[in-house]
Structure 1
């Protein structure tokens, strides 16, 4: 693990999502890049700016606190989750007590910058994404909620279709709280914001900062797509990379482009400089993700200090950046159960190891910290 990174603390059970009073951008402004101005520097002016937007109909405040069932559809994939204020005021003393499991380490400076930004904004501007395997009874409760007409529905500027239900009924909220209490969840997106939540809670205990905005998705119900994040390595030759893989015990075979790309699966990586192509079989990956094998056994053989790594969310992006002086590493998509197993057995994945998609558009649900 990079010496500049640390593992953020673990929030303790019971897992709690608390009702809050949401601020929402007007539908025509959700996902609109111009709307980012409302959340931009100077951050200390964001609360005032949002108040002005509410006065002019560019945003609104819900009339009472609620948990929200938020469903969004993007690119044909529908994701549904429960949005609330995640209680972060208690830290786990043992693995069995852990409610929230990070799967990557974080850079403390980045978390600190985010904490300072949120403190100046007096706002959680977007939920972190959590995934779990929810109990059947919770799916039944949320199914009852979503069979009713949504409180808000619209198509935003990005093309995401948004549907939102506010849950305020006390009995239903109590049932949800009971069903969530023993759950454990994995952070899908927002490790640094999660760490910022913890820092703010430590700085302001007993206040609204005892919680941070989160969206909990049932990976059994409407799963997020778990994709790979590919790498390029400036300043390294493809031959050096292939030899390092062989030195790590992998079977490295030179193939044509089509055959190499066809070999990219749960047991193979692909190395290329856009002219030569290698399929790499590390061996047994049943207890280790391919991306961890790459960082722990291959990159450490290349240079001291480690080579600079650049990240790409698609094969096309990685190939476009690959060249004779910047070879690319195409990685297989991780498996959710494998990731969860690695994390719950005490392991971590390298930085930018997973890409959970799609993420909700900015501005659908925000949490003000000033009691609005």
Structure 2
């Protein structure tokens, strides 16, 4: 089997449902602490024992009853609200019209297998996958009613994220929420491989706890996540290589100062640098396609030699830190457009790997789903 291949994860059939679960929450002093995130790393079989020790030390809150949660968090001046629940995974879409959760990137089967084994050993969903949608008015009314009440939890974590959490338990409100989400469709913003691991576990063990997987659903029209680019570093390539590739595909290539190059970044223009020299590359990007697609489908294949490796970086600073004269070149990309991403998935296409960066994400440990509690 080719472990480097990328495949499309399965599609869920509707309705989109977030069901109650019994949440676990780390103490605020542990949330946002890098050591806490590392605690969910190998050996995975020890994670439950770690949580048990923390619980004995009063550092884990076990909710006494099932709930769907409204989680509001503020990070870097951006406030995001999402509904956190157990996503119903039991039904697969047989055709395009039945789909309710849309991946926008492919997945690596080997990574999915590793995550599947990790969840089995941990017996938990340590963090929700992140879904975004354009929320219906009925969903927003339910959320606004909750915001008018006191949250069940209100704290600032160790990483300086501020959190407010409401537990939704009243049967009438849960029923109204279930009805309001009927007909909704969501895009996976973060967690494609975990989503695929959820589905693999459900296929292996239908009818039990793996029929559900932890998810957060954010209304992109209410409290939008910031959608940024992920830049590329082409190792083993040079700026001269990119100039030849641009000429081969009929793209404009112009040397520029750093400030002029960065200012020119746009949907039709990408920026290249080896850390010393800077240039802009003018691409022909059709209305129906994203810049990152054109880069991977035309520009990179036209290089005189294949890059030794392609690195992915969320910030310009990180990308520049990885380049040195003659050994690598950074390719700075414009931010994708959310509506364009929706059009791409609706057209049954996937973006290249690591094409989008939805931020900010909530810190690990705010809401955890333990499979031992169900």
Match of 2:254 in 1: 253
Deviation above 6 Å: which 4+ runs of structure 1? none
Match of 2:237 in 1: 236
> In structure 1, how many angstroms separate the alpha carbons of the residues matched to 2:282 and 2:176?
48
Q: Shift of the alpha carbon at 1:222?
A: 0.4
> In structure 2, how many angstroms separate the alpha carbons of the residues matched to 1:246 and 1:288?
21
- The alignment status of 1:351 with 2:353, answered yes or no, reads yes
CA-to-aligned-CA distance 1:64-111 (integer Å, 9 cap, x gap): 000000000000000100000111111111111101000000100001
Q: Shift of the alpha carbon at 1:287?
A: 1.2
Identify the range of structure 1 (131-140 vs 237-246) with the bigger mean alpha-carbon deviation. Answer: 237-246
Normalising by structure 2, we get a TM-score of: 0.96
Aligned counterparts, 1:16-55, within 5 A: 16-36=17-37, 38-55=39-56
The partner residue of 1:370 within 362, 369, 372 is 372
Aligned counterparts, 1:122-133, within 5 A: 122-133=123-134
Indicate if the aligned counterparts of 1:300 and 1:306 stay in contact, CA closer than 8 A: no
Q: Shift of the alpha carbon at 1:37?
A: 5.4
Match of 2:144 in 1: 143
CA-to-aligned-CA distance 1:306-348 (integer Å, 9 cap, x gap): 6420111101111222232201100000010011111110111
Aligned counterparts, 1:1-372, within 5 A: 4-36=5-37, 38-302=39-303, 307-323=308-324, 324-371=326-373
Q: Compute the RMSD of aligned alpha carbons.
A: 1.5
Indicate if the aligned counterparts of 1:234 and 1:326 stay in contact, CA closer than 8 A: yes
Return closer, same or farther for 1:288/1:62 CA change in 2, 3 Å cut-off.
same
Normalising by structure 1, we get a TM-score of: 0.96
Indicate if the aligned counterparts of 1:232 and 1:309 stay in contact, CA closer than 8 A: yes
> In structure 1, how many angstroms separate the alpha carbons of the residues matched to 2:53 and 2:280?
56
| Structure 1: segments with no counterpart, 5+ residues | none
CA-to-aligned-CA distance 1:219-247 (integer Å, 9 cap, x gap): 00000000000011111121111221232
Return closer, same or farther for 1:243/1:119 CA change in 2, 3 Å cut-off.
same
CA-to-aligned-CA distance 1:170-207 (integer Å, 9 cap, x gap): 11111111111211110000000001001111111111
| Structure 2: segments with no counterpart, 5+ residues | none
